Amino acid sequence: MINLANTANSWAGRIDVLINNAGVLAAGEFDHTPMEVHTQVVQTNLLGYMNGAHAVLPFFKKQRSGILINNISIGGFLPVPYGAGYTASKFGLRGFS
């Protein structure tokens, strides 16, 4: 993500907006779903957004402007049945945001 931010800044001379809009869902009973699957959901839905923010915030601070939009989804407000990893990641994203 840092390479993408550097490339965007080099091309346009600044970064004005980052829209984080990733989301994957692994549906199933928590204890029947491998932890590797839950880990991938959290890595995409929470850590992916954090990586994006981490990459652009230095540019926003230098410019003294910038807009970061984190698209959270209803899963950050209400539990998704059979979506423990998804719900946990989206609630975490709400806390991060």
User: Nearest-CA neighbor of 45 among 21, 17, 81, 79?
Assistant: 21
* SS3 at position 72: coil
Among 55, 70, 86, 88, which one carries the catalytic annotation?
86
- Model pTM greater than 0.85? yes
pLDDT of residue 71: 95
63-72 pLDDT tens trace: 999 999 999 9
CB atoms within 10 A of CB 58: 14
* Cβ neighbours around 84 below 10 Å, total: 19
Start-to-end CA distance of the chain, whole Å, equals 18
User: Is 86 tagged catalytic?
Assistant: yes
**pLDDT tens for each residue of 46-92:** 999 999 999 999 999 999 999 999 999 999 999 999 999 999 999 99
